[in-house]
Amino acid sequence: MATVPSVSYSITVRLEVPAGGKAVSQLTAAVEQAGGIVTALDLTPAGHDRLRIDVTCATRDTEHAQEIVDALEGLDGVSIHKVSDRTFLMHLGGKIEMQSKVPLRNRDELSMAYTPGVARVSLAIARNPEDVRRLTVKRNSVAVITDGSAVLGLGNIGPEAALPVMEGKAALFKRFAGIDAWPICLDTQDTDEIVRTVQIIAPAFGGINLEDISAPRCFEVERRLRDLLDIPVFHDDQHGTAIVVLSALTNALRVVGKDLADVRIAMAGAGAAGNAVLKLLMHAGAKHMVVCDYHGAVHTGRDDLDDSLRWIADNTNPEGYDGDLRGAVRGADVFIGVSAPGILSGDDIATMNDDAVVFALANPDPEVDPAAAREHAAVVATGRSDYPNQINNVLAFPGVFRGLLDAQGRTVTLDMLHAAAQALAGVVTDQELGPNYIVPSVFHPDVAHAVAAAVQKAAESAK
């Protein structure tokens, strides 16, 4: 639930009121007294003595929206006609469409775009398969693949319910990097079926973006596809998160004057995102890390370790700490949470070292209340848009794929992810950098270009 009114829960209430008097001021007062925020009022006549008004307001959640509607309906002379949820309205009919890049106005144009002219292009590709990147959409296309098993923070809700999210991902690819992305929601959660399905549709795409596939299956799916395909495979929940976390941490440590190699880092979360963040931070030079899951610290003495946790145990926590998360946070310089809401308090953050950095990224409810964390930490970041320093994957994946496609890359390496993180961190200038600005806005014009250029250079160097 949102703690403050949010546009994602905004509604438009169409109603009629008596013309004249204080009708409009009464409407705005009723919304504000109910805790909402009026963002627009549109008036049209509804006869000589009535006004039709569309009241648009931000609310905290669906229950709060109903409270506001009830408050408006309770005013004298107010007649409610219709209530629209603006988020649902945006999704009516879907958010994306296919559009032709070439005109088809007459027989000549049709004969070149399709039969018989297209046959010559097909034969050229048959003779030289590498021409498929030059002569088709493959050069600029990405498949956004999910099985619906770990959608946002909603869990295993299935492929149909995952489709609005994948559409949104495709829209972001186009908006921020000019990439044509296609949502593909698979009606299977069998690892072999997922791998085989992606393998046999891969010829149409220049890259594969895996999305919202639950751990630990996502690790095997990605590994096997990277072995099978000659195009880059990128699991955004893992590597997109890791890029933005490393970028943000790089700048946060600039704020507090500490070095990555020296700081003590406590992490909560050993799933897909946690694994990727850990590996990229270590690749970038982090040395002192303890990772905790819901059983406590991951260490070599535990008897419940799968392959992923075994790797973590073998490569972190050299002192063999075997306590809980609160103990791991005590004396740490950095806390990174990619886990569950409300697992720490402000008092826990108070036990960290001076000038602590807290990344509480569970969404929508962070691991620790950001306001409580700010009382003790120098820098706080969350996954939410209503607090400063939002760790948002859209800062990374459009530019990453733009760079990979432009380089005609065939794989994804830690060096490429590290280059992306460095480029993203560099978008924030020394003059802009501060405790409340360690990552740029997703709408910053330099973000996608900077990340793409860095990834393209790294990809071309890897050939």
The enclosing domain of 14 has a CATH number of 3.30.70.260
- The answer to whether position 425 is within a domain reads yes
- The answer to whether position 105 is within a domain reads no
What span, in angstroms and rounded, lies between the C-alpha atoms of 186 and 197?
9
The reported pLDDT for the residue numbered 290 is 97
Q: CB–CB of 210/236 below 8 Å?
A: yes
Say whether both 319 and 413 belong to one domain: yes
What span, in angstroms and rounded, lies between the C-alpha atoms of 240 and 199?
22
Average pLDDT of 95-107? 93
56, 91, 126 — which closes off a domain?
Answer: 91
Q: Which residues pair with 381 in a beta bridge?
A: 359
Say whether both 366 and 262 belong to one domain: yes
Say whether both 267 and 396 belong to one domain: yes
- The answer to whether position 99 is within a domain reads no
The enclosing domain of 158 has a CATH number of 3.40.50.10380
- The answer to whether position 212 is within a domain reads yes
The enclosing domain of 250 has a CATH number of 3.40.50.720
231, 250, 269 — which closes off a domain?
Answer: 231
Say whether both 366 and 342 belong to one domain: yes
The reported pLDDT for the residue numbered 227 is 96
Q: In sequence order, what are the residues at sequence separation of 6 or more whose Cβ sits closer than 8 angstroms to the Cβ of residue 109?
A: 102, 103
7-52, pLDDT tens digit by residue? 889 999 999 988 766 778 889 999 999 999 999 998 876 667 788 9
Say whether both 30 and 68 belong to one domain: yes
- The answer to whether position 115 is within a domain reads no
307-355, pLDDT tens digit by residue? 889 999 999 999 999 999 999 999 999 999 999 999 999 999 999 999 9
- The answer to whether position 316 is within a domain reads yes
- The answer to whether position 361 is within a domain reads yes
Q: How many domains does the chain have?
A: 3
Say whether both 330 and 415 belong to one domain: yes
Q: Which residues of 357-374 are buried (b: 16+ CB within 10 A; e: fewer)?
A: bbbbbbbbbbbbbbebbb
Say whether both 256 and 314 belong to one domain: yes
What span, in angstroms and rounded, lies between the C-alpha atoms of 275 and 290?
12
Which amino acids are annotated catalytic?
Answer: 114, 169
Domain that holds residue 29: 6-91
Say whether both 286 and 428 belong to one domain: yes
Percent above pLDDT 90 for the chain: 88
Answer whether residue 250 shows pLDDT above 50. yes
The reported pLDDT for the residue numbered 1 is 47
Say whether both 153 and 195 belong to one domain: yes
203, 231, 259 — which closes off a domain?
Answer: 231
The amino acid present at 383, given as its one-letter code, is G
Say whether both 267 and 225 belong to one domain: no
The reported pLDDT for the residue numbered 46 is 66
| Preceding peptide of 364 cis, ω within 30° | yes
- The answer to whether position 274 is within a domain reads yes
Say whether both 351 and 219 belong to one domain: no
Residue 241, classified by CB atoms within 10 Å of its CB into exposed (0-12), middle (13-18) or buried (19+), is buried
Q: Which residue has the tokens 């169409």?
A: 14
Say whether both 395 and 448 belong to one domain: yes
